[in-house]
């Protein structure tokens, strides 16, 4: 029993030591910046990265590629400024090269250059204000992260995981309010089958936004339906190719609700979410839109 306690204590010390080391770790950026966001998405979607594993609701696992569906460095209303803190982990026992692509809201990012980084084996990287400090970007967007080989092709042997938190200081207060965006597989929703986000609320006390990430090279339109206890509505949302868009739910008192999304055409990958926020405190939550 004593030996077991000593071993447990040693494991905890090692884990804490590694975490403390990770807090000061930074990504090692490769000098060779080649490839584009559109090219990497094409590589992944054509099955070269056969190790990309679909996440199922309630199941969290590693992937060879993933997206953060929303991240940013963006001015908000009422004196707020939202930024994203990110953690990315390389679970392999060897150094892993990754490509990172910024998918800015409202524009086609197919030709946007990827950035390449080398991640040390079994190391978590904690990256504050990721969009500004690491990607050197601003505004709202999505982030594509993919393990790659030394030649820049998708690496199906990569074992990556990530988490993102977008937050702002409360105006006139020292505390923060935030929304969490865990990593989502690139192969998330496919085709024109509907996906739905549960647990939202939109009324005088709460507001809801809907976000869609279009991973295809062409622009597409979704029919978005809001079905609440107090009312319902339907509206279209068009998203540029290789882009994302976040829009507010139309003004109304819908109460507790679910959001469903259906693209008007078939044959491409996409991802979506809904986020609700308390109008008084700024407290909020996110629901990933999953297909049945």
Torsions phi, psi for 13 (to 5 deg): -65, -45
pLDDT at 60: 53
Mean pLDDT of 213-228: 98
Instruction: Note whether 71 and 166 are within 8 A (CB).
Output: yes
pLDDT at 12: 37
Most confident stretch, 26-30, 86-90, 174-178: 86-90
Which of 185, 211, 231 delimits the end of a domain?
185
| Pair (138, 173) in one structural domain | yes
User: Any idea which of 7-11, 77-81, 179-183 has the lowest mean pLDDT?
Assistant: 7-11
Mean pLDDT of 251-263: 98
Nearest to 144 by CA among 93, 83, 179, 187: 187
Distance CA(205)–CA(179), nearest Å, equals 18
Burial class (CB in 10 A: 0-12, 13-18, 19+), 10: exposed
What residue has token string 């865990």?
Answer: 182
| Pair (176, 53) in one structural domain | yes
61 pLDDT band, cuts 50/70/90, is low
What residue has token string 């008084």?
Answer: 280
| Pair (76, 166) in one structural domain | yes
| Pair (126, 221) in one structural domain | no
75 pLDDT band, cuts 50/70/90, is confident
Mean pLDDT of the chain: 86
The length of the chain in residues reads: 292
Q: Mind listing the pLDDT tens digit for each residue in 189-209?
A: 998 889 999 999 999 999 999
pLDDT at 282: 85
Which of 133, 162, 185 delimits the end of a domain?
185
Nearest to 64 by CA among 163, 153, 142, 154: 154
Distance CA(65)–CA(158), nearest Å, equals 8
| Pair (172, 196) in one structural domain | no
What residue has token string 């040693």?
Answer: 10
Instruction: Note whether 31 and 119 are within 8 A (CB).
Output: no
- What HEC string does the chain produce? CHHHHHHHHHHHHHHHHHHHHHHCCCCEECCCCCCEHHHHHHHHHCCCCCCCCCCCCCCCCCECEEEEEEEEEEECCCCCEEEEEEEEEECCCCCEEEEEEEEEECCCCCCCECEEEEECCCEEEEECCHHHHCCCCCEEEEEEEEEECCCCCECCCCCEEEEEEEEEECCCCCCEEEEEEECEECCCEECCCCEEEEEEEEECCEEEEEEEEECCCCCEEEEEEEEECCCEEEEEEEECCCEEEEEECCCCCCEEEEEEEEECCCCCEEEEEEEEEECCCCCEEEEECECC
- β-partners of residue 189 are 270
pLDDT at 21: 43
Mean pLDDT of 54-76: 76
Q: Note whether residue 207 is domain-resident.
A: yes
| Pair (100, 228) in one structural domain | no
pLDDT at 57: 36
| Pair (236, 132) in one structural domain | no
- Structural domain of 218: 189-288
Mean pLDDT of 265-270: 95
The CA-based angle 67-71-74, given to 5 degrees, is 160
| Pair (221, 174) in one structural domain | no
| Pair (164, 40) in one structural domain | yes
- How many domains is the chain partitioned into structurally? 2
Between 18 and 7, whose confidence is greater? 18
pLDDT over 90 at 34, yes or no: no
| Pair (270, 198) in one structural domain | yes
Mean pLDDT of 271-292: 93
Torsions phi, psi for 169 (to 5 deg): -70, 140
* CATH code: domain of residue 239: 2.60.290.11
Which of 158, 185, 212 delimits the end of a domain?
185
Instruction: Quote the percentage of the chain above a pLDDT of 90.
Output: 72
Q: Note whether residue 14 is domain-resident.
A: no
Q: Note whether residue 37 is domain-resident.
A: yes
Q: Note whether residue 274 is domain-resident.
A: yes
Q: Note whether residue 196 is domain-resident.
A: yes
pLDDT at 53: 42
| Pair (76, 49) in one structural domain | yes
pLDDT over 60 at 33, yes or no: no
20 pLDDT band, cuts 50/70/90, is very low
Q: Mind listing the pLDDT tens digit for each residue in 221-252?
A: 999 999 999 999 999 999 999 999 999 999 99
pLDDT over 70 at 14, yes or no: no
1 pLDDT band, cuts 50/70/90, is very low
Instruction: Quote the percentage of the chain above a pLDDT of 70.
Output: 83
pLDDT at 23: 42
Q: Note whether residue 44 is domain-resident.
A: yes
pLDDT at 30: 52
Q: Note whether residue 97 is domain-resident.
A: yes
| Pair (164, 193) in one structural domain | no
Nearest to 209 by CA among 101, 84, 77: 77
Q: Note whether residue 10 is domain-resident.
A: no
Nearest to 205 by CA among 255, 165, 239, 263: 255
């Amino acid at each position: 029993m004593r030996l077991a306690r000593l071993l447990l204590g040693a494991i905890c010390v090692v884990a804490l030591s590694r975490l403390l080391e990770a807090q000061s770790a930074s990504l090692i950026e490769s000098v060779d910046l080649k490839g584009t966001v559109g090219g990497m998405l094409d590589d992944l979607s054509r099955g070269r990265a056969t190790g990309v594993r679909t996440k199922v609701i309630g199941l969290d696992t590693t992937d060879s590629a993933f997206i953060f569906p929303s991240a940013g460095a963006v001015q908000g209303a009422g004196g707020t400024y939202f930024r994203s803190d990110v953690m990315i982990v390389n679970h392999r026992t060897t150094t892993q090269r990754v490509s990172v692509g910024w998918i800015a809201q409202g524009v086609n990012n197919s030709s946007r250059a990827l950035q390449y980084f080398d991640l040390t084996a079994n190391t978590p990287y904690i990256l504050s204000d990721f969009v500004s400090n690491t990607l050197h970007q601003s505004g709202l967007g999505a982030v594509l992260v993919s393990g790659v080989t030394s030649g820049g092709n998708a690496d199906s042997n990569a074992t990556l995981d990530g988490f993102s938190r977008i937050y702002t200081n409360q105006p006139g207060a020292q505390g923060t309010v935030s929304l969490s965006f865990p990593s989502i597989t690139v192969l998330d929703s496919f085709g024109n089958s509907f996906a739905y986000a549960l647990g939202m609320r939109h009324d005088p006390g709460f507001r809801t936004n809907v976000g869609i990430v279009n991973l295809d090279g062409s622009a597409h339109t979704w029919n978005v339906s809001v079905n609440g206890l107090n009312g319902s509505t339907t509206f279209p949302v068009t998203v540029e190719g290789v882009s994302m868009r976040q829009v507010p739910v139309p003004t109304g008192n819908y109460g507790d609700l679910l959001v469903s999304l259906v693209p008007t055409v078939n044959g491409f990958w996409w991802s979506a979410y809904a986020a609700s926020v308390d109008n008084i405190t700024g407290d909020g939550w996110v629901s990933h839109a999953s297909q049945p």
